[in-house]
A and B are shown apart, each in its own frame.
Chain A
């Protein structure tokens, strides 16, 4: 396969956009529909990444790379989902400050464990040895194929999230987010619903973390900073927290602008790319959050339109 037309930076830029969009989509179910501000996105992302990486690299697998890879991937997803269940149980009946403390605390705990358990994770030195479950010739071709695979996964997440708006489950989440006491008086088990929401959302985040780790090939605690949570939140908020397509639009707009256009196509001096541009990127992200929430809290796409949706789904 001739990939000369394809810039290596474009692959990595698109890859980070796609992963952040995936996280933003899952966050949409929690923040946009159910109104739970999960500040621990990177924790679930990270626990999936490390569970996958540790199992894949530390076990002496008796069979081929491909199956070892898939099993490890499933394991990473499962561990992240389980931790989501645990965190969900801890915070589902707490108020906003409790949720902030719990999710932030979980993300911190994951970063701490990635550092301290260096027998497993390589500690601050990091964990190498991750590789693609295939070899199609060149590094570039491998990465390109991986980008396509992960894009398909994120597209499936988008399909699920989009579809949830059209299910009784989505209605339940919106109901709990809008008026939890009323939902409970109608017999809706809000606590259990939040628990499963966290389990499923976290499993998805963990899967994305594992897929991300493969592309990185090297896992280090630096991957577990708050900037991952920030990026997912920014993508979702600017696109529209309440809309299924919000994270997609916001992700391509903001993350795409920095990780693709600024990274590859704008003529900034080389030395800026080391520290100045990442720094500016974070400042812009923060400023975007503030500005959008002050002046257009529901982002570009605005509020969900159940009136149109219901008419479309049930005729009339």
Chain B
């Protein structure tokens, strides 16, 4: 089922995972023979706790190195494929592969504006001798930053992110500012109030419609059923099935292993 050929031609960025294995202290956490992400605009990745979802995402970002196997990014516009599992973490964003974090990650000493400017600044401006680069970076990006600030109703950009929800949102906005070709979201709505969850989902839909491939890991299954065009179900380190949200939702194994009887 995993080896699906319904979309043979590459229409959007895809990530191919082949023979990828990761184990911690001898326990195999992820073991995937062959998996393609990005056949559909938005794909959900679900599974019971400990199935290896977060580890798989970290493996794609190469912040957790693989024991073996390869992960390849193929681009929609005819660029050459990139074996991203050979590259260090900081090359992912330049290749367009970006991930938001499950746990709250923030820069304590940077303001909201700082945080966004840091995300968008091209590295050529971040050199010791580029002492006059601030204005260029600010002018080139201030419009976009304000757009997000207003859309998510963040208020004053010159302050520090306060609540956990705000930091989570900021984490997602930083990812969006990076113009991802392939966006991985690890529980993007956990800890966000409902109206913001709606707005995040709206933004993700727009992004996907514009050509970005999105993979969402989420515990709130309503988000998955609403958002995804396709759902991968992961258990014990492998993607054991995938299909439309409807199919997965009604699948017996999924219900037994994960959803529980009373859920549907």
Interface positions, chain A 146-192, Cβ under 8 Å from B, are 160, 163-164, 166-169, 171-172, 174-175, 177-179, 181-190
Pick the contact of A186: B118, B142, B156, B157 (CB < 8 A): B118
Interface positions, chain B 95-119, Cβ under 8 Å from A, are 98-99, 101, 105-111, 113-114, 117-119
Q: Which residues of A contact B50 (CB under 8 A)?
A: none
Tell me whether B117 and A185 are in contact (CB under 8 A).
Answer: no
Given A167-B133, A171-B118, A193-B126, A306 and B109 contact (CB-CB distance below 8 Å)? yes
Tell me whether A310 and B94 are in contact (CB under 8 A).
Answer: no
B240 close to A (CB within 8 Å): no
Tell me whether A188 and B94 are in contact (CB under 8 A).
Answer: no
Q: A37 CA to B130 CA in the complex, in Å? A: 24
Residue in A183, A197, A242 with the greatest tally of chain B CB atoms within 10 Å? A183
Tell me whether A168 and B89 are in contact (CB under 8 A).
Answer: no
Interface residues on A, range: 35 or more
B131 close to A (CB within 8 Å): yes
Residue in B114, B125, B132 with the greatest tally of chain A CB atoms within 10 Å? B114
Tell me, rounded to whole Å, the shortest Cβ–Cβ distance linking A84 to chain B: 12
B174 close to A (CB within 8 Å): yes
The chain B residue sitting closest to A181, CB to CB, is B63
The chain A residue sitting closest to B89, CB to CB, is A184
The chain B residue sitting closest to A311, CB to CB, is B158
Given A179-B105, A184-B90, A186-B119, A168 and B130 contact (CB-CB distance below 8 Å)? yes
A262 close to B (CB within 8 Å): no
Tell me whether A310 and B92 are in contact (CB under 8 A).
Answer: no
The chain B residue sitting closest to A304, CB to CB, is B109
Q: Which residues of A contact B131 (CB under 8 A)?
A: 160, 163-164, 167, 169
Q: Which residues of B contact A197 (CB under 8 A)?
A: 128
Given A187-B90, A314-B138, A175 and B128 contact (CB-CB distance below 8 Å)? no
Tell me whether A171 and B61 are in contact (CB under 8 A).
Answer: no
Tell me whether A169 and B91 are in contact (CB under 8 A).
Answer: no
Q: A294 CA to B178 CA in the complex, in Å? A: 40
The chain A residue sitting closest to B95, CB to CB, is A187
B252 close to A (CB within 8 Å): no
Tell me whether A179 and B61 are in contact (CB under 8 A).
Answer: no
A222 close to B (CB within 8 Å): no
The SS class assigned to the B binding surface is loop
A257 close to B (CB within 8 Å): no
The chain A residue sitting closest to B126, CB to CB, is A172
Q: A171 CA to B131 CA in the complex, in Å? A: 12
Q: A200 CA to B130 CA in the complex, in Å? A: 13
Given A185-B93, A314-B138, A174 and B107 contact (CB-CB distance below 8 Å)? yes
B127 close to A (CB within 8 Å): yes
A274 close to B (CB within 8 Å): no
Counting from the closest, the 3 A-B pairs by CB-CB distance are A187-B93, A172-B126, A311-B158
- Can you identify 26 A-B contacts, CB atoms within 8 angstroms? A167-B133, A168-B118, A168-B133, A169-B125, A169-B128, A169-B133, A171-B110, A171-B114, A172-B118, A175-B118, A177-B109, A183-B107, A185-B89, A185-B92, A185-B93, A186-B119, A187-B93, A187-B94, A189-B123, A190-B90, A196-B127, A197-B128, A304-B109, A310-B111, A314-B142, A316-B158
A313 close to B (CB within 8 Å): yes
Tell me whether B130 and A167 are in contact (CB under 8 A).
Answer: yes
Given A186-B174, A310-B158, A168 and B121 contact (CB-CB distance below 8 Å)? yes
Tell me whether B128 and A200 are in contact (CB under 8 A).
Answer: yes
Tell me whether A168 and B126 are in contact (CB under 8 A).
Answer: yes
A307 close to B (CB within 8 Å): yes
Tell me, rounded to whole Å, the shortest Cβ–Cβ distance linking A45 to chain B: 19
Interface positions, chain B 130-174, Cβ under 8 Å from A, are 130-134, 137-138, 142, 156-160, 174
Tell me whether A188 and B123 are in contact (CB under 8 A).
Answer: yes
Tell me whether A178 and B109 are in contact (CB under 8 A).
Answer: yes
The chain A residue sitting closest to B158, CB to CB, is A311
Tell me, rounded to whole Å, the shortest Cβ–Cβ distance linking A62 to chain B: 33
Q: A181 CA to B63 CA in the complex, in Å? A: 8
A303 close to B (CB within 8 Å): yes
Q: Which residues of B contact A169 (CB under 8 A)?
A: 125-128, 130-131, 133
Q: Which residues of A contact B90 (CB under 8 A)?
A: 184-185, 187-190
Q: Which residues of B contact A164 (CB under 8 A)?
A: 128, 131
Q: Which residues of A contact B61 (CB under 8 A)?
A: 185
Q: Which residues of A contact B142 (CB under 8 A)?
A: 314
Q: A295 CA to B110 CA in the complex, in Å? A: 24
Q: Which residues of B contact A168 (CB under 8 A)?
A: 117-118, 121, 125-126, 130, 133-134, 137
Interface positions, chain B 54-87, Cβ under 8 Å from A, are 61, 63
Tell me whether A179 and B106 are in contact (CB under 8 A).
Answer: yes
Extra 10 A-B pairs, beta carbons < 8 Å, given A185-B63, A316-B156: A168-B121, A168-B137, A171-B110, A171-B121, A183-B118, A184-B89, A184-B90, A189-B90, A313-B134, A314-B158
